[in-house]
Each structure stands twice: as C-alpha cells, then as structure tokens.
Amino acid sequence: MRQFSFSADGNRVLAVTATSAVVVNLYDPTSPQETFWHRGTINDAQFSPDGSMVVTASADKTARIWNAARPAMAPLPVAPQQGCTSAAFADGGSTILVASDQDLLTYDSDSLIDSNLEHFEGKLTSLTTDSTGKKVLVGFEDGHLETPFHQRVSDEVNSYAPVFSHDGKYFATIGGFREKLLVTMRENEQFCVWETKTRARLTRPDSIAPVAPFTSIRALAFGSSPSELLTALSSGEVLPWTILPNGAVQAGTPVLRHPSDLRTITVSNDGLRLAFAGYDGTLAIRSLGGDKSEVPLAANSARIICLAFDRKTRLLAAGYADGSLVIYGVLSGNAILRLACPAEVLRVEF
C-alpha cells in the first residue's frame, strides 16, 4: 500500500496500491468499494474537501479527476514530459493542482480548463494542503519548500512533513534556519514555525536550542492554539512550547515522559488528547486534561510511521511500515478496521 487519505467527515478512506485507488466506507464495510485505475503507478490521490471527488496523479503521465461515489472519470488535459508526482485540491475544492517534474499545473475543478502553469527550477515531489484546502505548500527534491508563485519558504527544512495548525494559519517544520548558533547543532535539533499566508518565519534564530545535545526532534504537532507546539523527542519526552509574539519560544513542562525513544505523535483538534508511538512498540492515547489518563492500543509488531485523529476525535488512524492501516476507536481503544498491504504507509490524513 502506497498511501492512505481520509474524507473530511472521516467516514471513508482512500487507499492507493500500485495502479489502483480504492474508496472504502469505514462504517459500512459491506458497501461497494469504488476502484479507480491508471496504467502506471499512482503517486498521489486525494479527496476534495467535500468528499465528492478524487484526484489522482500517476507515473503514466496522466492526472485524473473521479466522482467518489461512482467510477466515472474525467482525464485532466495534461501532457507532461514526466509522470505526475502529486495532486491536490485547493481553494476549498474549486481548484486542482498537479505537480509534474518542474511544472505546477492549475485547473478549474468544474470546467477542467487549465488556468495556469508555473515552471520551477527544481523538481516537484509533493503538494501539501491544510484541512480547508486553501493553503498549499510545494515540496522539492532538494528538500526546500515553496508556495505557488515561487515564494520560497525555506532552504533547510524537512519538506516531506510540514505540520499545519488546526486553523491552517501556521505550519511548523523540523529545521528551517540557515543560521546556526552552535556549530554542532544538527538540523533535527531545531524547529521553526511559519505564517502560512505571508510565509513569514515566526520563530527567531536566536531562540533555537530547543532540545538537549544529542537529542533529536522526531515529530511535531500543534495543540489547540496555533501558539502551542509539541515536540516528540528521541529521549522519550513530549515537550510543549509556547510561541511568543516577539518570535521567542518558551518551553513548558513535559506532558509525557516515555521510557523509550518516540517515533511520532499527533494531537486532536480540541487539544485534549495526544496519541504517541514509541520505538518499544507502544501505541497509546493520553489525555492532556487534568487526569492525564492513558488508553493503550494494541499495536502491530511493525514500525508505526504516522498517526492522525479524525476531526471529531472519534477515531485514530495508524499507518505501519508493513503496509497496515489500523483505525482505532478513541474512547474504547479497540481496533475497528484493519487493512493490510505489502508496502509501508507513509502518510495518513482525515
């Protein structure tokens, strides 16, 4: 399995495997599964914000838009020299973006007319949008990020995994500073927060040194407020940070001290629950309220790569290195759906 993504209501999952993409209803597994096909490997597939359409990008040099309720297909009028590496809905679903080699193509989702083409110097590898589909980041092969219209965000950033705040106004990256206060400081020992609209960097270079020496940041997650950021550390701690108006960052008391290195974390939209996965195979949901209660989940033996809550904090999705996707009930901790495929799950979203 190459990729999973979820509809906005959290009721359906879009699973990509080689040359096909399948829509599965999580609450009615007996309902017909819609399957969309390409002649070549599918590199990306995403729901529209309202869940009515699916866009796919393939190595067969085509991108297609589909009706998510039935297998009706309309090919986008693209003729790239290379395969299509990524596709996404933007502007609340009214626009479709397709990345192909060094080009970013823009289409009207109703007429499918090509309204714009942007050519970049580097090769495009990914498109990331916030939950509303209004904010877009373009990831490049050399690791830097830009927004459409060539507004460069960062030269030194892990562009495969920018994390948006729940309202989409900000995003955070591991790394992001060209300046280095300490010669020995590595890229994964610092983080940076940006304003999505202006691409302005909110955190100051002189405020970096967020973790102890030889301790790496494994993952980032915003809390309920855009000024609250949590860092999962290789020491096993989850450390909260407050981003002050002057760009400085202030560390809080760890909300979690796990005995082993952490792999990844995610925070619910209301900021009340933290899900975490450790190198020791632990998978659990911790309350960030007063009781700090913890619900253990039955994890697979394979390495967990990604986690995501649905918007109403009813479900938690976990993607594994062996291709498994498991959906858990947040309150019960029970697995309610398991999908197993032969390749690792790199990203999961609701």
In a domain, 21, yes or no: yes
Q: What is the CATH number of the domain that holds 5?
A: 2.130.10.10
Q: What are the pLDDT tens digits along the chain (350 aa)?
A: 567 777 877 788 887 877 888 887 777 767 766 777 788 888 888 888 888 888 888 888 888 888 766 545 555 655 555 678 888 887 777 778 888 888 887 777 776 666 667 777 778 877 777 666 666 777 777 666 666 554 444 444 444 457 888 777 888 887 654 443 333 344 466 777 877 777 677 776 555 444 565 677 888 899 888 888 998 988 899 989 888 877 777 888 899 999 989 989 999 988 899 999 998 889 999 998 777 789 999 888 888 888 989 888 899 999 888 888 889 999 889 998 888 765 677 677 77
Choosing from 101, 120, 140, the residue where a domain stops is 140
Distance CA 188, CA 168 (A): 23
In a domain, 253, yes or no: no
Residues 6+ apart with CB under 8 A from 114: 77, 78, 105, 106, 107
Which residues make beta-bridge pairs with 117? 105
C-alpha dihedral sign at 212, 213, 219, 222: positive
Q: Exposed, middle or buried by CB within 10 Å (0-12, 13-18, 19+), for 39?
A: exposed
What CA–CA distances, in Å, run from 250 to 77, 111, 245, 344? Answer: 50, 49, 11, 36
CB–CB of 286/292 below 8 Å? yes
- In which domain, by residue range, is 29 found? 1-140
> Which structure tokens are listed for 124?
């495009």
Counted domains in the chain: 2
Choosing from 140, 170, 194, the residue where a domain stops is 140
In a domain, 125, yes or no: yes
In a domain, 220, yes or no: no
In a domain, 155, yes or no: no
Choosing from 118, 140, 162, the residue where a domain stops is 140
In this structure, are 134 and 262 located in the same domain?
no
CB–CB of 31/40 below 8 Å? no
**Residue ranges of the alpha helices (H) in 148-299?**
none
In a domain, 276, yes or no: yes
* Unique residue bearing structure tokens 């999952």: 13
Q: How far is CA 54 from the centre of its chain?
A: 17
> Which structure tokens are listed for 6?
């979820």
Distance CA 336, CA 198 (A): 41
In a domain, 218, yes or no: no
In a domain, 153, yes or no: no
Q: What is the CATH number of the domain that holds 266?
A: 2.40.10
Distance CA 53, CA 161 (A): 24
